Amino acid sequence: MARKGIKDRIAIIGAGYTKFGERWDKNQEDLLTDAVAEATADAGIEKTDINAGWVGIQYWFTGLSGGSLADFIKLYGVPMTRVENYCASGMDAFRNACYSVAAGVNEVALACGVEKLMDQGSRGLPGFRQFGHPVLPLPSAPAMFSMAATRCFHSYGWTKEDLARVAVKNHANGAHHPKAHFRKPVDIETVMRAPMIADPLGRFDCCAMSDGAAALIITTPEMAPSYARGDDYVVVKSNQIAVYTNTPWYMPSFSYTKFPSTQRAAELAYKEAGITDPRKEISLAEVHDCFTITELINCEDLQFCERGAAPYELEKGTFNPDGEIPVNPSGGLKCFGHPIGATGCRMLVELTKQLQGRADGIQVKNPELGLAHNLGGAFTVAAVTILGRPS
């Protein structure tokens, strides 16, 4: 049986998200209720019109099972599933929703994500003492990615200043975004002087702990015009996830200068979407800048530039909002923080608004195709989704 893929078979008809940040006065129910309400209003539907829902949640303390989604938005009696797939949880929730609609099982599906990190009171992502093997060491997220930075410094001669430029660019972008956690530009000295988290990654090299939620309403392109925005919907061109090991530090061939999961997901996504020259064809990209080093490697793994060249492309403006291929015009995880389950859906909301020309404050000029990318765990799970205008 030939595999049909997902290209042009799904339409996004509603998108919504909360302001991201330290939402001390809100809980996960508040956040998800607000995001879903914004998305359903955008689509012009009631929540009871939703046939099925998938929610991306990474942490047990945010919520367990589909019951969390059903309870948070108080929608009972329909299929609801929690998806946990590290930092790609939200985008994987979207993938599941897409497949259910493409299969013809559902007409209207909800894909959403939420995470309530701040209530845990921990300094970094919590729970690392609960995961994995009881004795084998497990690096914190900054430690995992900083080992890639150390190796790139060694292999390519990249410097801490190269990393800092990523933070400077993204903070400049996020300053214009009304829903960003951080809305203040930073200069390179501030980034360089910041306290170390996991050497060589300092505080500004790391995305922040943050709370937030995002939601998307999808249907088929055939049904899409009958909803509130009419022909102004967005279609899915590809959606791919690639999964490798949870413990790359035991893989003798692992280079730490590239992430096979991203490379593979990108390869499959470009093939599915029929893209042969990503740098030329992709209008903008929201990539997983959990750490500054990650964005540089992502740009190479996503084939936006030559191997080892990301810092030089960044410096000459290739990835600026007005550059050849804008990367993280929203400000990225650097400015939104990273409420794990919410991030993937938040990126898809960004792309939807960009492609519809209503990305207030950060609108990229005439976008055709937008790419969103997550990279989770120990470079374990990569998700790439490409959205476009209906043809």
DSSP states of 131-149: SS-SSS----HHHHHHHHH
CA-based nearest residue to 20, from 334, 369, 380: 334
Q: Which of 11, 180, 198, 359 binds other proteins (CB under 8 A)?
A: 198
Q: Tell me if 256 contacts other proteins by CB under 8 A.
A: yes
Tell me if 341 sits within 8 A of 81, measured CB to CB. Answer: no
Judged by CB under 8 A, the chain residues 205 through 244 that form the site for other proteins are 244
Rank residues 44 and 139 by Cβ distance to other proteins and give the closer one. 139
Q: How far apart are CA 122 and CA 136, in angstroms?
A: 22
- Residues designated catalytic: 87, 338
Kindly state the smallest distance separating residue 244's Cβ from other proteins, in Å. Answer: 7
Count of residues of this chain found to bind other proteins when the rule CB under 8 A is applied = 39
Q: Tell me if 140 contacts other proteins by CB under 8 A.
A: yes
Q: Tell me if 183 contacts other proteins by CB under 8 A.
A: no
Helix axes of 28-43 and 65-73: crossing angle, nearest 10 degrees: 70
Burial 295-314 (b: 16+ CB within 10 A, else e): bbbbbbbbbbbeebebbebb
Q: Tell me if 160 contacts other proteins by CB under 8 A.
A: no
Q: How far apart are CA 154 and CA 151, in angstroms?
A: 5
Rank residues 10 and 293 by Cβ distance to other proteins and give the closer one. 293
Q: Tell me if 159 contacts other proteins by CB under 8 A.
A: no
Rank residues 45 and 198 by Cβ distance to other proteins and give the closer one. 198
Strand-pairing partners, residue 83, are 56
Kindly state the smallest distance separating residue 337's Cβ from other proteins, in Å. Answer: 17
Q: Which of 56, 260, 311, 377 binds other proteins (CB under 8 A)?
A: 260
Q: Tell me if 77 contacts other proteins by CB under 8 A.
A: no
Q: Which of 64, 103, 105, 196 binds other proteins (CB under 8 A)?
A: 196
Q: Tell me if 143 contacts other proteins by CB under 8 A.
A: yes
Q: Tell me if 148 contacts other proteins by CB under 8 A.
A: yes
CA-based nearest residue to 342, from 15, 101, 148, 91: 91
Backbone angles phi, psi at 60, to 5 degrees: -60, -30
Q: Tell me if 154 contacts other proteins by CB under 8 A.
A: yes
Could you tell me how many residues make up the chain? 391
Sheet arrangement for strand 381-388: 80-83, 52-56, 109-116, 211-219, 11-17, 234-243, 381-388, 369-376, 284-286
Q: Tell me if 1 contacts other proteins by CB under 8 A.
A: no
Which letter does DSSP use for residue 323 in this model?
S
Rank residues 77 and 134 by Cβ distance to other proteins and give the closer one. 134
Q: Tell me if 121 contacts other proteins by CB under 8 A.
A: no
Q: Which of 251, 306, 365, 368 binds other proteins (CB under 8 A)?
A: 251
Q: Which of 24, 231, 253, 277 binds other proteins (CB under 8 A)?
A: 253
- Contacting positions for other proteins (CB under 8 A): 123-124, 129-131, 133-137, 139-140, 142-143, 146-151, 154, 195-201, 244-245, 247, 249-254, 256, 260
